[in-house]
Structure 1
Amino acid sequence: MATPDLLQDNIRPTLLRMTGPMMVGIVSLMLFNLADIYFVSLLGTAPMAALAFTFPVTFSVVSLAIGFGIGTSAIMARLIGQGRQGEAAELATDNLMMTLILVLCVSLTAQFLMVPLFTLMGATHEQLPYILTYMDIWWFGAVFLVTNMVANSALRARGDTKTPALVMAGSSILNMLLDPLLIFGWGPVPAMGIKGAAMASVISWACVSVIVSYVLYRRYQLIIIMKPVASRIFGHWLKVMKIGLPAALSNMMTPLAGGILTAMVAQHGAEAVAAFGVGNRLESLSLLVCLALSMTLPPFVSQNFGAGQIQRVIAAYHGAIKFALVWQLLVFVLLWIFRDSIADLFAASELIKTPLLMWLSVVPLGFGMQAVIFLSASTFNALHQPLRAMRISILRLFVFFIPMAWVANQVWGLQAMFVAFVLANTVASWVAYRSVSRLLVTKSAATPGESAANQ
C-alpha cells in the first residue's frame, strides 16, 4: 500500500487509512505490557510487586519519548509540507542522534540513583533486589525504546503509519515469545526470572529500532550521512524541545491526576478502588479508536499547515471532532446496554460490582468530550502551539476535573463524583474546541489566497 499524499488525497479516506494501522500498533503495545505483567506474575508476589514499583519510573521515560516524538513529528511534517525534504532529513538525523546521546546520559546517571529512589518510593529489602535486577537491564534497553518511538514519529510525519504499526506488532509478538523462554528457561536457555522479562523487552526494542532506522534510511532517505555541525544539531534539538518538553510534561500530568483521583475514590473503600481501576482499563479500550486518530491527525495538520493549506486543516479537525463525538456516543450506548454483563465479567464480588455499575452508567458519557480534548491538544502541537496544548491539560485536570470531583465527592458521594467527571470533560472540551477553532480562523485569515477547493 502506497504512503498517502497528505497534501492532495481526500481528507476522510486518508485519515481512515492512517488511523487503522495505528489502532493495530496501540493494541500491540497493550499486549506487550500485558505479556510482561502476566509472565512476571507467575514468579510470585515479590517480583510482581517489584515490577509495579518500576512503572512510575519507566512511564516517565516513556512520557519523555512521547514528547520527543511529538516534537519531531510536528517539525518534520511542517518541513515536508513546505517541500523542504532535505531539511527534514537533516532534522530527523540530528534529532535521533541527540535522542540517543541524551538517553544514554540519563541511563548512566540513573544507575547511581536507583537505590535511594526506590527506597524513597517504599520498596522493601525483599523487593529491592528484584527491582534493581530488572532496571539494570531496562536502562540499557531504554536507548532502543526511546529511539524507536522517535523514529516511528518520523515515519508518521511522512504519512506512513503502516510501517510503525507492523513493527510494533512484530515487537509485541517477539516479546510474548521471548518472555516465557527467558523468564522460565527451556533447553540450553537458563531461567533468568525477572531479569529475563527485561531482556525480552530489550531484545524486542533493539530489533524494532534496527528495522525502523533502516526504513527511514533506505525508503524515505530521512536518515542521511553528513558532517556533524554543533550549531545545526543544537538548533534542531531546540526546535524539537520547544514542542517536545511541554508535550512530555502534559503527558506526565495524567498519572499524577489519576493518583489524586484514586485517593478520593479510596475514601469509599478498597472495592471502590478496584472498580475504579477496572473502569480506567475499560476507558483505555473505549478510547482506542480516537486515541489512534489523535496520533494520525497531527502529521496531516502539520504538513498542510506547512503547505499553507489551512482549509484542509480546518476540515480535518472539524471532521475528527464530529467523528469522535458520534463514535464515543455509540461506545457509551453499548457499554450502558451491556453494563451488567461487563460488571459480572470484571467484578470479583458484589461489593465491587455496585461501584463498577455506577461507573459504567455515567462516566463513559464523557468519553466523547474527552476525545475532543486530546484531539484539540494534538492539533495545537501540530500547529506548533505546545504551550496552548499544555494549558488544555492543566485546565482539564487541575482547574475542572479534580476540583469538581472533590466537591462532588465531599458533598454527594461517589456517584456524584462520577457525574463530575462528565461535567468536567464537557466544560474542558468546550474550552479546547473554541481555542483551536479561533486559532484556525486566525490562520485562515492570514492566508486569504488559499483555495477552498483543497478540501
Structure 2
Amino acid sequence: MSTAVASQAMLNDPIGKVLWRMTWPMVLGIATLISFNVVDTFFVGLLGTEQLAAISFTFPVTFTVISLTIGLGIGTSAVIARKLGANHTNEARFDGSCALLLSACLVGALAFIGYLFIDPIFSLLKAQQELMPYIRSYMTWWYAGAVLLVIPMIGNSILRASGDTRSPAFIMASGGLLNALFDPLFIFGWGPVPGYGIEGAAIASVLAWSIGVILVLAYLNRKQLLSLVAPANAHIMRSMAQVLRIGLPAASANMLTPLAMAVMTAIIAGYGAPAVAAFGVGTRLESLASIIILSLSMSLPPLISQNMGADRMTRVADAYKVALKSVLWIQAGIYVLLVVFARPIANVFAQEQEVADIVVLFIYIMPLAYGLQGWIILTNSSFNALHKPMQALWLSIIRLFVFFVPISYLGSIIADIPGLFIGGVVANVITATIAYLWFQHTLAEEKRSA
C-alpha cells in the first residue's frame, strides 16, 4: 500500500477496521520481539541466580536509553503523521531524515555517559558487589551498540506515521528472532565460538540490531520516506526542533518509568537476590502480557495525528474510545490465562523455589490492573499524538511518583512483597480514572478551538 493510499485509509475507513489493520502486524512483531527477549532472560537464568539478578539490575538503566529512543520516535511519528495528514509530503520526508540524525547523536551521547559511570550508577541501585563483574561485562557491550538500536526504532516510527505497520512488525520480529538464535551461541558457545556467559547476551543483541539497521534503511528508501533535500521554508534545525518539542517531553515521560523501576528495584532488593530475580522475571512477563497495549500505543497515535492534521476531531475521539474498550476486555482474558498457568510459567524461569514462589505471587496480583494500565499508556500516547506532550509528561509523573511508587512502598511496609504488588494495582486504578477524564476534557477544548 502506497503512502498516499494508507493516509486516505486512516482518514476515511471505519475506525475499527483501520485500528485492526494497523495493530495486528504490530502484535505479531512485538510478540515475537518480546518473546525472544523473554528467551534471553531464560538463557541468562540458566547461568545462575546471580546472573539473572545482574541482568535484572540492568533493566532500569537500559530502559532509560530505550525510553529516550521511544520518546524521540513518538515526536517523529507525531510530526510526520500530522504533515502527511495535511498533505505536506516533502516536509515529512525531510523531517524523517533529520529525526534519524538527531536521535543517533542524542542516544550515542547518553550511552557514552552511561558507560563512563557504570559503577556509580549501579551502586546507587544497590547492586551487590558480587554482581558488578557481570553487570560491567554486559553493559559495556550494550552501550557500545546503543546507536545501532536507535536507528531501527526511529525508522519504524517513520514507517508507522505513514500508515505502514507491516514493515516495522517484520523488522522487529526479525531482530527478536536473530537475538534468540545468537543468544545460546554467544552465551554458551558452539564449535569455534567460545561461550561468553552474560556478556554473550549483549553481543547477541548488538549483532541483531546491526541487521535491523540494514533492514529499516532499505524499507525507508524503497517507500521514499526520506529526503536530505530541504523543501521551501524548511531547515534542519527547525525540523529537529519540531521533533524535540514533542520528543523531549515524551522521552522524559518514558525515562520516568525506568527511574520508578530503579526505585522499586532498590525497595525489593531489601528482600534479597531471589526477590530481585523474581521481580526481573515479572517485569519481562508484564511486557509479554502487554503486547496488545504496546501495539495499540504504536498504531493509535498515527491515526490520531493524521486525523488531527485533517481537522477531523470527532474521528479522533472515536478512535480513542474504541482502543480503550478493546484493551480492557483483552487484558481481562490475558489475566485469566496467566493465573491458570502461573506455576508452570514460574518454574520455566526460576531455578530456585523461592524465586518461583515470588513470580507466582506477582502473576496473581499485578496483572489485575493491566487493562487500566493500558488506559494510562494509550492516553499518554494520544496526548503526544495531539501534540500535547506536557500533558503526557504530567500524566506519567502523576502515575509513577504521586501514586505508583508511594502506594507500592506503603504496601510493602504494611504487607511486605504482597503489599508492594497490591499497591501497584491500586495506583493504576486511580491513575486510569484521572487519565480518562483528563483526555476527555482536552478533546472538548480542541473541538471548541477548531
TM-score band w.r.t. shorter chain = 0.7 to 0.9
After superposition, the Cα gap between the structure-2 partners of 1:102 and 1:361, relative to the gap in structure 1 and judged at 3 Å, is closer
Determine which of 258, 261, 268 is the counterpart of 1:258.
Answer: 261
Do residues 215 (structure 1) and 198 (structure 2) align? no
Tell me which amino acid in the other structure corresponds to 2:429. Answer: T
Do residues 383 (structure 1) and 386 (structure 2) align? yes
Do residues 61 (structure 1) and 60 (structure 2) align? no
Measure how far apart 1:319 and its partner are. Answer: 0.8
Do the aligned partners of 2:34 and 2:287 also contact (CA within 8 Å) in 1?
A: no
Measure how far apart 1:226 and its partner are. Answer: 2.6
Measure how far apart 1:179 and its partner are. Answer: 3.2
Do the aligned partners of 1:95 and 1:233 also contact (CA within 8 Å) in 2?
A: no
Q: Tell which deviates more after alignment, 233-242 or 326-335.
A: 326-335
Determine which of 92, 95, 116 is the counterpart of 1:91.
Answer: 95
Aligned pairs, how many?
Answer: 446
Aligned to 1:155: 159
Determine which of 306, 315, 319 is the counterpart of 1:303.
Answer: 306
After superposition, the Cα gap between the structure-2 partners of 1:262 and 1:24, relative to the gap in structure 1 and judged at 3 Å, is same
Do residues 244 (structure 1) and 247 (structure 2) align? yes
Q: What is the DSSP-based 3-state SS (H/G/I as helix, E as strand, rest coil) of the residue aligned with 2:405? A: helix
Do residues 330 (structure 1) and 333 (structure 2) align? yes
CA distance in 2, matches of 1:54, 1:344: 23
After superposition, the Cα gap between the structure-2 partners of 1:230 and 1:181, relative to the gap in structure 1 and judged at 3 Å, is farther
Do the aligned partners of 2:35 and 2:288 also contact (CA within 8 Å) in 1?
A: no
Aligned to 2:172: 168
Measure how far apart 1:11 and its partner are. Answer: 0.8
Aligned to 1:142: 146
CA distance in 2, matches of 1:270, 1:110: 24
After superposition, the Cα gap between the structure-2 partners of 1:166 and 1:234, relative to the gap in structure 1 and judged at 3 Å, is same
Aligned to 1:452: none
The Cα RMSD (Å) is 3.6
CA distance in 1, matches of 2:214, 2:28: 20
Aligned to 1:103: 107
Tell me which amino acid in the other structure corresponds to 1:301. Answer: I
Do the aligned partners of 2:57 and 2:265 also contact (CA within 8 Å) in 1?
A: no
Do the aligned partners of 2:38 and 2:284 also contact (CA within 8 Å) in 1?
A: no
Determine which of 272, 281, 286 is the counterpart of 1:283.
Answer: 286
After superposition, the Cα gap between the structure-2 partners of 1:239 and 1:122, relative to the gap in structure 1 and judged at 3 Å, is same
After superposition, the Cα gap between the structure-2 partners of 1:382 and 1:115, relative to the gap in structure 1 and judged at 3 Å, is same
Measure how far apart 1:383 and its partner are. Answer: 0.6
Aligned to 1:435: 438
Q: Give the fraction of aligned pairs with identical amino acids, expressed as a percent.
A: 45
After superposition, the Cα gap between the structure-2 partners of 1:435 and 1:416, relative to the gap in structure 1 and judged at 3 Å, is same
After superposition, the Cα gap between the structure-2 partners of 1:404 and 1:195, relative to the gap in structure 1 and judged at 3 Å, is closer
Do the aligned partners of 1:25 and 1:164 also contact (CA within 8 Å) in 2?
A: yes
Give the TM-score, by structure 1 length: 0.84
Measure how far apart 1:397 and its partner are. Answer: 1.9
After superposition, the Cα gap between the structure-2 partners of 1:170 and 1:406, relative to the gap in structure 1 and judged at 3 Å, is closer
Q: What is the DSSP-based 3-state SS (H/G/I as helix, E as strand, rest coil) of the residue aligned with 1:222? A: coil
After superposition, the Cα gap between the structure-2 partners of 1:206 and 1:438, relative to the gap in structure 1 and judged at 3 Å, is same
Q: What is the DSSP-based 3-state SS (H/G/I as helix, E as strand, rest coil) of the residue aligned with 1:331? A: helix
Aligned to 1:451: none
Tell me which amino acid in the other structure corresponds to 1:425. Answer: N
Do the aligned partners of 2:63 and 2:258 also contact (CA within 8 Å) in 1?
A: no
CA distance in 2, matches of 1:51, 1:337: 27
Structure 2 runs not aligned, ≥5 long: none
Aligned to 2:318: 315
Aligned to 2:397: 394
Q: Tell which deviates more after alignment, 280-289 or 269-278.
A: 269-278
CA distance in 2, matches of 1:52, 1:417: 18
Listed one character per residue, the Cα deviations across residues 281-306 of structure 1 (whole Å, up to 9, x for unaligned) are 44333322122111111111111111
Measure how far apart 1:420 and its partner are. Answer: 3.9
Q: Tell which deviates more after alignment, 327-336 or 166-175.
A: 327-336
- The structure having more radius of gyration, on CA atoms, is 1
Listed one character per residue, the Cα deviations across residues 242-284 of structure 1 (whole Å, up to 9, x for unaligned) are 2112222222222333344455567778777666555544433
Aligned to 1:424: 427
CA distance in 1, matches of 2:343, 2:135: 39
Q: Tell which deviates more after alignment, 185-194 or 311-320.
A: 185-194
Q: What is the DSSP-based 3-state SS (H/G/I as helix, E as strand, rest coil) of the residue aligned with 1:6? A: helix
